[in-house]
Structure 1
Amino acid sequence: MRATNRLSAKGAAALAPGKYADGAGLWLIKNEQARGKWVLRVTVYGRRREMGLGAFPAVSLAEARRKADAARAVVREGLDPIKEREKAKREAARNLHFLNDIARDCFEARKAELKGDGAAGRWFSPLAIHVLPKLGKMPVADIDQTDIRDCLKPLWHTKASVAEKALGRLTLCLRHAAALGLVVDLQATEKARALLGKSRHKIENIPSVPWRDVPTFYETLANGSITHLALRLLILTGVRSAPLRFLHDSQIDGDVWTIPAEAMKGRKDATSDFRVPLAPEALAIVEAARRHARDGFLFPSQRKGVISDATMSRMMERRGMAERPHGFRSSLRDWLAEATDAPHEVAETMLGHVVGGSVERAYRRTDFLEQRRVLLARWAKHVTGQSGQVVKMVRGKP
């Protein structure tokens, strides 16, 4: 009788329940005529072991023989084929992390660095909208530059800023995967950038009302509605729309509005709250807004929460204006540059910008509150149509 290849495919199917040797340690064990399993008996480190090679007839005789030959080759190398197979499975499982999972884990790890723990979703949305629908179900180890290029190509020349954010987030996800011990190409995003080429999209600044025309627009905001009051206070203070929309009565102390650090863009230090001096006109707006307040919030929406980010923009859009609320910060900055001689650091601080390096900021303890109070009072006079002279500032004095 032959020492190997004793069985035939047709004969194996007809065998009754029992144990049948194919040779060289390969056995077919049938529990019933139609079903069974393949087992390879090998001797490793002087000890006999049985290695399952799959179910019969799902694993054919030919496939069982190929698996047996591969296992015997491992034994000849002095290794345990069962342990090596389990090791390969663990390695494959470790590398089979889908981008969906990695992206969400990366987001969770960075929440503490984001305003409001990332509740607004702005960090994750470039991935959720533009990357994960196409690449989310791919193992992160398989993602290469061509996958990324094909994913972002539709955006690259039309929505450059969105594509850049998506590419940056994806870079962080790949680094996160590498930190987890996964085998990824950390250069894939830069290679994709090279394949995409230079973007043809030109980023346009948000249009702003020229500072000389602001009084005319301000005068039209006269119906006392929440939207009109919000826009008036936005213009008078030069703040961004987010802290203004979430203005709570508890943040007002006398003629100073203190915006919590977590509500200020670019201020991650929990102690760096931002104080905004309120001119008499601004205080009058705050008082008028208190009549609309709900749960302490001065600019509530009609149903729940506060007015949306688009409420003021839509009002200006309905008037046929190209300008948007955020542009009034530029109006204020231009007025500071052209109608005052305010020092650069004072003018930038008025907009809530972080000025100077970390060492310079460590030694500069002032936030120029009094100088900003004078400037915002003059700005309020200009905005309300009163003639305002050029403001002379003494550099270096708070």
Structure 2
Amino acid sequence: MRQSNKLSGAKVRTADAGKFGDGGGLWLHKRDARQGKWVLLVTVHGRRREMGLGAYPGVSLKEAREEAEKWRAVVRRNLDPIKERERERRQAERNLNLLKDISLDAFESRKAELKGDGKAGRWYSPLELHVLPKLGKVPVADIDQIDIRDTLAPIWHEKAETASKAMDRLGICLKHAAALGLDVDLQATMKARALLGKQRHKPKNIPALPWPDVPSFYASLNEGTTSHLALRLLILTAVRSGPVRKAHEDQFEGGVWTIPAEIIKGRRDATEDFRIPLSDAALDVIEAAKKQSRDGFLFPSVRKGVISDATMSRLMERRELEARPHGFRSSFRDWVAETTNTPHEVAETCLGHVVGGTVERAYRRTDHLDQRRILMQRWADFVTTKQADIVRIG
């Protein structure tokens, strides 16, 4: 057995220029008294290999010995240590670009485009729940259509909408990776869709209470609690639950509720605030809610913040109703269609929907506030059991 550990710390520090062996193939090549490099000489597959282990004094004698033993062990497995080190380097580089890291970077870069900077997590959650558990630790350059197909196949038909969102987000991540200069297959998601086939699942509409039944349900919300008042305002205004839950006293002025653009959902042009004309009944609900507001929010939760998204839904569940709060928007829209002659653009604007193309909207800049005020008052009259005959909103 060849002698090893021939060198000492003092010898290494004081040696002049030259080559000094430590044994076992480890050598120190000194250019001068202060600088040098460590070299490991090995024979693999009958071929002599010279492997650099780092510069001296940056790499100490102890560190050089540990590194040398690591690569000797590789040689004992009949592997080329230089090729193995290069393979490890490439793998390390690939690991810096795992899908989980790319997806977070893509999310961060798009926060400004998302409502509330994406704090609700709706953009990221399809990836987080259905893609990253399987592909998160895979280098993004390695992901192909087979990986994507196998990952989304379990939910492709059963949770079609979620699966489509996950596929779309994954496509954005691949484009983001390409923009970073990584070698990815930008057509991988398109190929995966072809492999998965057309989705069989048909989306279900949120159950809605038939509009003739709305007045009796509204009348039952008579306890003056936070959830009762919130549901009453939601019904009277046909607004989504989010803006209702986050309603703040500062948003109401002169019979108009102005919803900030950042909490408006479903509007492609949601760069402007959205105005809601308030009926007499809605104003009464708001005044009642102000008496129990906290920090200006009309519908505070018991502990902190505002009531949750599930608060109103659970109230309806406890009453064994299939309908959900969001369904009152459908109830309102059906009432409009069946009992009034309201123009389409007025009715759709009441729901905060965008009507017409970009050019048409550029020329038609009205939000039909006065016409909507008449319609919302008639709806409130119907809901509160006052006379509400068929009316023309011209």
Shorter-chain TM-score category?
0.7 to 0.9
Taking the aligned partners of 1:34 and 1:318, their CA distance within structure 2 comes to 79
Give runs of aligned pairs for residues 239-258 of structure 1, distance below 5 A. 239-258=239-258
The worse-fitting range, judged by mean Cα deviation, of 373-382 and 264-273 is: 264-273
Query: Where does residue 151 of structure 1 map in the other structure?
Result: 151
Query: Where does residue 75 of structure 2 map in the other structure?
Result: 60
Give runs of aligned pairs for residues 184-333 of structure 1, distance below 5 A. 184-267=184-267, 271-333=271-333
Is the 1:29–1:38 contact (alpha carbons within 8 Å) kept by the matching residues of 2? no
Taking the aligned partners of 2:74 and 2:200, their CA distance within structure 1 comes to 55
Partner SS for 1:224: coil
Taking the aligned partners of 1:388 and 1:154, their CA distance within structure 2 comes to 50
Taking the aligned partners of 1:317 and 1:61, their CA distance within structure 2 comes to 69
| Corresponding letter in the other structure for 1:38 | L
Query: Where does residue 31 of structure 1 map in the other structure?
Result: 22
Taking the aligned partners of 2:195 and 2:186, their CA distance within structure 1 comes to 16
Partner SS for 1:232: helix
Q: 1:96 Cα deviation (Å)?
A: 4.7
Query: Where does residue 174 of structure 1 map in the other structure?
Result: 174
| Cα deviation 1:96-120 (Å, max 9, x = unaligned) | 5100100000000000000000011
Q: 1:278 to 1:55 in 2, by over 3 A?
A: same
Is the 2:141–2:184 contact (alpha carbons within 8 Å) kept by the matching residues of 1? yes
| Cα deviation 1:111-161 (Å, max 9, x = unaligned) | 000000001111111111111111101111111112111211211121111
Give runs of aligned pairs for residues 14-25 of structure 1, distance below 5 A. 14=2
Q: 1:91 to 1:134 in 2, by over 3 A?
A: closer
| Corresponding letter in the other structure for 1:14 | R
Q: 1:89 Cα deviation (Å)?
A: 4.9
The worse-fitting range, judged by mean Cα deviation, of 313-322 and 196-205 is: 196-205
Is the 1:96–1:140 contact (alpha carbons within 8 Å) kept by the matching residues of 2? no
| Corresponding letter in the other structure for 1:304 | K
Structure 1 runs not aligned, ≥5 long: 1-12, 20-27, 41-49, 71-81
| Corresponding letter in the other structure for 1:60 | V
Q: 1:29 to 1:100 in 2, by over 3 A?
A: farther
Partner SS for 1:326: helix
| Corresponding letter in the other structure for 1:93 | E
Q: 1:268 Cα deviation (Å)?
A: 6.0
**TM-score under structure 2 normalisation?**
0.82
| Corresponding letter in the other structure for 1:286 | I
| Corresponding letter in the other structure for 1:31 | D
Is the 1:95–1:182 contact (alpha carbons within 8 Å) kept by the matching residues of 2? no
Q: CA RMSD in A?
A: 2.9
Structure 2 runs not aligned, ≥5 long: 8-18, 28-38, 43-49, 54-66
| Cα deviation 1:277-329 (Å, max 9, x = unaligned) | 11100000000101110000000000000000000001101111110000000
Taking the aligned partners of 2:4 and 2:294, their CA distance within structure 1 comes to 81
Q: 1:362 to 1:238 in 2, by over 3 A?
A: same
**TM-score under structure 1 normalisation?**
0.81
Give runs of aligned pairs for residues 99-110 of structure 1, distance below 5 A. 99-110=99-110
Partner SS for 2:22: strand
**What percentage of aligned pairs have identical amino acids?**
62
Partner SS for 2:227: helix
Query: Where does residue 392 of structure 2 map in the other structure?
Result: 392
Taking the aligned partners of 2:186 and 2:24, their CA distance within structure 1 comes to 53
Taking the aligned partners of 1:310 and 1:332, their CA distance within structure 2 comes to 21
